[in-house]
Structure 1
Amino acid sequence: MGPIGIFDSGYGGLTVFREIVAKLPEYDYVYLGDNARVPYGTRSFETVYAYTKECVEKLFAMDCHLVVLACNTASAKALRTIQQQDLPLHSDLRKVLGVIRPTTEVIGNYTRTRHIGILATPGTVRSASYPIEIHKFFPDITVYQQACPLWVPLVENNELDSEGTAYFVESDIKRLLQQSPDIDTVILACTHYPLLLPLIKRFMPPHIEVLPQGKLVANSLADYLVKHREVETLCTKNGHIQFFTTDNAVDFEEKTRRFYGQAVKAQELNVC
């Protein structure tokens, strides 16, 4: 038995993780941020897969039977290969989940016009993971995507409400909405973007619903644990959380508060 593993390339996954803890506080968790090799969004499929696999294997070695990739880039570029190629080499009770499916399988409940927008990193947009997955569940929905290459560095540098950040947020939203006047729902397909929500709502027309992923992923995980008791019984429940980073732990602790909402203590971990 062991904790539930939560993996992200850095800090963004903490916006999802805090919603998971709020929904399922009784479980034990290990959060691992690969801050030494961030960003993932600009890297190739092969590199993202290699990095993600190393981190997943490390979490398996820490007795995590279930690992959640709280990272859109890792979910888009690495999850399928890990599930199809690597998990068969492990016990059937080793499972890896992502953040894309929990979002796409419910999007049909939000849109009325059946036209939705995706705001994401360039890597996630290039992967076409969101259009592909949405069309599996809702073939009648038309998907429009807009890459926002500067949003993540702006967030990580704590430029949340500067004039420069406002310029890029407004510009990318305009580019998305120019693709269709019928968009009525927009997915924030990057875990950093919830920190920009006040700015995003300032420039988004009020009739358009903006969906961060955190609560959608938390609800999906809760449902998964109910349906897969063979996995759930291997997850320990002491309400204990550990944070690990592949880079400087002090720097991780300083930046974590913005994403997680409270101070944490972290340890450095070598995954190679």
Structure 2
Amino acid sequence: MKQTLPSAAGPIGIFDSGYGGLTILSKIREALPQYDYIYLGDNARAPYGTRSFEIVYEFTLQAVTKLFEMGCHLVILACNTASAKALRNIQMNDLPRLDPMRRVLGVIRPTVECIGSITQSRHVGVLATAGTIKSESYPLEVHKLFPDIKVSGEACPLWVSLVENNEAQGEGSDYFIRKNINNLLIKDTEIDTVILGCTHFPLLLPKIQQYMPDGITTVTQGELVADSLKDYLHRHPEMDRKCTKGGRCVYRTTESEEKFTESASTFLNESIRVERIEL
């Protein structure tokens, strides 16, 4: 039986498995402050980076459906793992069933679209979670647009934990950051551009830049995704009309409110109120 979803205009939904998507949300709100937003973090089941394609797809679909039920017509998967493992299936198989007029967008495509104008050597590196690297989403998307660019990836399985345990600037993070950067650059000595393919990783940027050799450009996603969304809404006025504009942002989590509020302070420079929900 087809589900009946709210038809009135509503906020833009921003989904992430944890807290990293807050780095995307903050840049989107800077670029588009007039819109309303719901941020949903599936913190109780994070991280997604080590989970199977099937589980990531199942969890992401539950979250997208929940945001639709909460009035969103447009949802951004502010999570590279969800974008890599679930976005295509949701767009092709689930939106026609749920509501063909709603849209779900990811963070990988907007990031990739800018790479061609940044790299001079046409050799690009990606630092991301194991799930994103294993999916090969970045090489696939890059080669669709820029067949001449070589892409090498390095899984950084501990970086998310470093951020979420407030060790981003601690001495313990140096070893792992240096090790993963060196591993990537050993794979291809001609890399001149490195994509941070996880929304947590901008919090590690000072350390990353410390160990990244001179002459290599480090690309973060927040501003790229924000600019892409701004362009999308300009090109799709029919969707823009379905997005309410009151400058509000609310937060929902599948974990405890206290834990979310405490951890979110690492990512946001404001005090927030959050409510716990179930998916």
TM class, shorter-length: over 0.9
* Counterpart for residue 196 of structure 1: 204
CA distance, structure 2, for counterparts of residue 26 and residue 263 of structure 1 = 19
Is it true that 1:244 corresponds to 2:252 in the alignment? yes
CA distance, structure 1, for counterparts of residue 270 and residue 248 of structure 2 = 15
CA distance, structure 1, for counterparts of residue 171 and residue 37 of structure 2 = 38
* Counterpart for residue 5 of structure 2: none
Is it true that 1:12 corresponds to 2:27 in the alignment? no
What is the Cα deviation at residue 137 of structure 1? 0.5
Counterparts of 1:220-235 in structure 2, within 5 Å, are: 220-235=228-243
1:164 corresponds to which of 172, 196, 206: 172
CA distance, structure 2, for counterparts of residue 172 and residue 58 of structure 1 = 36
Q: Give the AA of the match of 2:101.
A: L
What is the Cα deviation at residue 93 of structure 1? 2.0
| SS of match in other structure, 2:76 | strand
1:215 corresponds to which of 223, 226, 229: 223
* Counterpart for residue 98 of structure 1: 106
* Counterpart for residue 39 of structure 1: 47
Q: Give the AA of the match of 2:137.
A: S
Question: How large is the RMSD of aligned CA atoms in angstroms?
Answer: 0.7
CA distance, structure 1, for counterparts of residue 166 and residue 181 of structure 2 = 20
What is the Cα deviation at residue 161 of structure 1? 2.1
| SS of match in other structure, 2:169 | coil
* Counterpart for residue 70 of structure 1: 78
Deviation readout 1:220-266 (Å, 9 max, x if unpaired): 00000001111111000000110000110111011111112322110
Q: For structure 1, which runs of at least 5 residues remain unmatched after alignment?
A: none
Q: Give the AA of the match of 1:73.
A: T
* Counterpart for residue 133 of structure 1: 141
* Counterpart for residue 152 of structure 1: 160
Q: Give the AA of the match of 1:57.
A: T
What is the Cα deviation at residue 91 of structure 1? 2.8
* Counterpart for residue 3 of structure 2: none
CA distance, structure 1, for counterparts of residue 115 and residue 56 of structure 2 = 26
Q: Give the AA of the match of 1:199.
A: K
| SS of match in other structure, 2:266 | helix
User: How many residues are paired up?
Assistant: 271
Tell whether the 8 Å contact from 1:93 to 1:230 is kept in structure 2 after alignment.
no
* Counterpart for residue 4 of structure 2: none
What is the Cα deviation at residue 181 of structure 1? 1.6
Q: Which runs of 4+ in 1 moved over 4 A?
A: none
Tell whether the 8 Å contact from 1:59 to 1:67 is kept in structure 2 after alignment.
yes
CA distance, structure 1, for counterparts of residue 10 and residue 169 of structure 2 = 40
| SS of match in other structure, 1:118 | strand
Deviation readout 1:141-174 (Å, 9 max, x if unpaired): 0001000011011111001122221000000000
TM-score, with structure 1 as normaliser: 0.98
* Percentage of identical aligned residues: 57
| SS of match in other structure, 1:226 | helix
Tell whether the 8 Å contact from 1:11 to 1:256 is kept in structure 2 after alignment.
yes
CA distance, structure 2, for counterparts of residue 241 and residue 16 of structure 1 = 13
* Counterpart for residue 176 of structure 1: 184
51-60 or 88-97, which deviates more: 88-97
CA distance, structure 2, for counterparts of residue 172 and residue 193 of structure 1 = 13
Is it true that 1:30 corresponds to 2:38 in the alignment? yes
* Counterpart for residue 266 of structure 2: 258
CA distance, structure 2, for counterparts of residue 261 and residue 225 of structure 1 = 27
| SS of match in other structure, 2:218 | strand
Is it true that 1:50 corresponds to 2:50 in the alignment? no
* Counterpart for residue 11 of structure 2: 3
Deviation readout 1:155-212 (Å, 9 max, x if unpaired): 1100112222100000000000111221110000000000000000000012101011
